[in-house]
Amino acid sequence: MNACRIRFWQAHSGICSRTVQHPDSQVNALEFTPDRQLLAAGGYQHIRMYDVNATNPNPVINYDGLSKNVTCIGFEKTNKWMFTGGEDKTAKIWDLRVRNIQCQRIFQMNDPCTCICLHPNQVEMMVGDQSGALHLWDLRTDHNEQVVPEPDVPIRTVSIDPDASYMAACSNTGNCYVWSLVGGRGNDRVRLKPKTKVPAHPRYALKCQFSPDSCLLATASADKSVKIWNTADFSLRTTLSTENQQWVWDCAFSADSQYLVTASSDGAARLWSVDHGDVKREYQGHQKAIVSLAFYDGSAPV
């Protein structure tokens, strides 16, 4: 994805199978629906949803009238609702089961929302904001608590591993904070216990993502690299970097946790081998920075 164009790539062949225009604004976030039928794109004051399996270049669903930039998008695992966050200082829940999709609930913050991660229990959300706060929002009761790892330092990204054992969040200073997760089953709310602080990068950390097998954590940065950490002890496993790579804005693991796809300011997306640390394929064709991606390798959600 770049400022005005979204490209669909075949990961194994490197062939661009489809290009759709997104002329309204830059695209800040991309995410597939859980059934892989639609691709959601968040931009300035809107969300567009494209049919993945059609050749129609136009969005099939439009959400207009939002305020400011939509910065993050995600879905409940059975496709009942969508969540978004944005510069309007809110996290929103959208009911996807009604014909005229409407905003169902709003979580109001004092600062712009930078990131959201839905807990695997599907009833609690971690919401990060520009002030450096992480809000734990219980959707059952509307109860919320917050933790501030670095006051006045924006939280840029947050991720929870599929086993619901750890939560990681990265900040503008490049630090990665890790908490152990306790509870979160039945009616028991999730509790955070500080695990470790990893000085992951010397510049902005832009994305963190746990692997599907929960064994790895990837952190992407403005220092032009991605680092892979072992979750057993959060030691550095490998660093992914190449000569032409610039800021790395986004990344996603393959379903088997053996590969990582990255999006970079140099206009290229790359497929990396996690074990060998080398580039297996480059996806060239964008004329501007690639700042977001969505990846599905045909096996399981990534």
Four-residue CA torsion sign, 300, 41, 28, 272:
positive
- Determine the Cα–Cα distance for residues 257 and 109; give it in Å rounded to an integer: 34
* 4 pLDDT higher than 80: no
pLDDT of the residue at 64 = 86
pLDDT of the residue at 5 = 84
* 263-284 tens-digit pLDDT: 999 999 999 999 999 999 999 8
Nearest to 43 by CA among 53, 59, 30, 61: 30
* 20-78 tens-digit pLDDT: 888 888 999 999 999 999 999 999 999 999 999 998 888 999 888 889 999 999 999 99
Q: What is the DSSP letter of 298?
A: S
pLDDT of the residue at 301 = 39
The three-point CA angle 233-238-240 to 5° equals 140
Percent of the chain residues past pLDDT 70, beyond the cut: 97
- Determine the Cα–Cα distance for residues 112 and 107; give it in Å rounded to an integer: 12
Contact 16, 2 (CB under 8 A): no
CB within 8 Å of 44: residues ≥ 6 apart:
24, 25, 26, 28, 68, 69, 70
pLDDT of the residue at 100 = 74
120-to-40, 60, 84, 164, 200 alpha-carbon distances in Å:
20, 29, 17, 6, 25
- Determine the Cα–Cα distance for residues 179 and 59; give it in Å rounded to an integer: 39
Find the mean pLDDT for residues 224-249.
Answer: 96
Residue 102: pLDDT band (50, 70, 90) is confident
CB crowding 261-283: b at 16 or more within 10 Å, else e? bbbbbbbbbbbbebeeeebebeb
**Range list of H helices, 81-191:** none
* 86 pLDDT higher than 80: yes
Q: What are phi and psi of 249, to 5 degrees?
A: -90, -30
CB within 8 Å of 85: residues ≥ 6 apart:
70, 71, 72, 91, 92, 113, 114, 115, 116, 127
Find the mean pLDDT for residues 69-96.
Answer: 96
pLDDT of the residue at 182 = 95
